[in-house]
Amino acid sequence: MREIVFDTETTGLSPSDGDRMVEFGAVEMVNRIETGVTFHAYYNPERDMPSEAFAVHGLSDAFLSNKSLFADGAAELIEFLGDAPLIAHNAHFDFGFLNNELEICGRPPVSMDRMVDTLAIARTKHPGAKHSLDALCSRYGVDRSQRVLHGALLDAQLLAQVYVELKGGRQIGMSLAEDAAEKTVETVETQPSQRLRKDVRPARPHGASEEELARHAAFIARIKGALWVEGGRN
């Protein structure tokens, strides 16, 4: 199954307040494995960049001034997305900005039925925990050392790894699970823990001698009130 994991960077928090999308980054996955195919674009928002937003992603007015308008690259983006499910973290935010840009250039919106929200999945799977992308990367051991500032493509790449872990990890399909189980059994049988290993004394090559039997009978006779002797203690 083909899926697209994506992220956006914007001039603010609300399209209804005039905020615009300035960066779009996406990662293609097939059967929850990254194919190496990505989509990345910066867009001229045709407005100023508030200092609060610049502090998050570092995309300045000067940097974006010579970038294309969203309308100029909309067809390419739509072709890349195809009809695949679209995965984002706090997906309502990203869908809102994507569909706002599509509306501005007179194109139909992306159906919300295609939305997969990893934030909602994380809240269900880890109630009471922190659910930011950074927190989930830490939980699942995803390297985020390059994430100094937010960036749409980098965040999409990190989210793709987190998404796989949220959906059960890299072992996709029963065959992989069975292979892992077989390897585990083999490891236990052929490489037992040193702490569990014990020397087993070999069986005696013969029965007890007459002398040994006599010594044993004498020892037993000295035990007073033995339970196995008739008349022993109650």
Any idea which residues carry the catalytic annotation?
A: 150
Torsion of CA 143, 124, 30, 136, to 10 degrees: -10
CA distance 175 to 173: 5
The token pair at 107 is: 């194109």
Residues 6+ apart with CB under 8 A from 68: 41, 42, 43, 44
Which sign does the torsion angle of CA 50, 98, 71, 155 carry? positive
The token pair at 120 is: 């909602």
CA distance 62 to 164: 37
Any idea how long the chain is? 234
CA distance 63 to 66: 7
SS3 142: coil
CA distance 212 to 205: 15
CA distance 87 to 104: 23
**Quick check: 24 and 6 in contact, CB under 8 A?**
yes
Give the type of residue at 217. Answer: A
Extended beta strands in the chain, E state: 2-10, 21-30, 33-42, 86-88, 115-117
